[in-house]
Amino acid sequence: MPSPLSPQKPLQGGQFDLSLADALSTMSQLKALQPTLEQAADMVSATLLGGHKLMLCGNGGSASDAAHIATEFTCRFSEDRRPYPAMALTADGGLMTAIGNDYHFEDIFKRQVVAFGKAGDLLIAISTSGQSRNLFLALEEAKKLGIQTIAFLGKTGGFTAGLADLELLILGSVTARIQEAQKFLLHVLCEIVEERLPR
């Protein structure tokens, strides 16, 4: 009798091989983004060391990534250190649904940027397509308020391409592979910045 932990059906080798090849192809382009990621680390470091905060936003899986990375800064990434202010604009379900209901879903991040953002803060927007109107409007509003912006985008960057102060674009067509590459970049960003933060 198989163990309860045993898979119920054999792994499809063909799909595994295709996904692995696509993942390796997607990840291989990240070396070219190293200088841009270093610039992003400089921006994040300057924001936090200057007494300002990070705001992060995204939809779906990118919303989870926004919450994840905000936690890495406010709690810690790998070393024991003081907490730094980072907030995911995806964290308050009541607030997001109120804005979506009373105004429009495309305003859910923009209104929070207006409410919480100050000049000197930094907004990080995460999207696998760059086709999210709510992220576009948040980035646009941040610029008006003197808030710096970084966009982690995928595919062609969509209509959001070129809007942020700094952009990291993952070329590809498979959302899952783009998310994996973005997660790698976000983790390395945390590693670089954490080395610079006073304990």
Per-residue pLDDT at 4 = 45
pTM: 0.92
**3-state SS, residue 54:** strand
Per-residue pLDDT at 199 = 84
Token digits for 167? 């952009």
Query: What residues in the chain have per-residue pLDDT under 70?
Result: 1-12
Query: What is d(CA 195, CA 44) in angstroms, rounded to the nearest whole number?
Result: 12
Q: Please answer whether residues 152 and 182 qualify as being in contact, where contact means their C-beta atoms are separated by less than 8 angstroms.
A: yes
131-160 pLDDT, tens digit each = 999 999 999 999 999 999 999 999 999 999
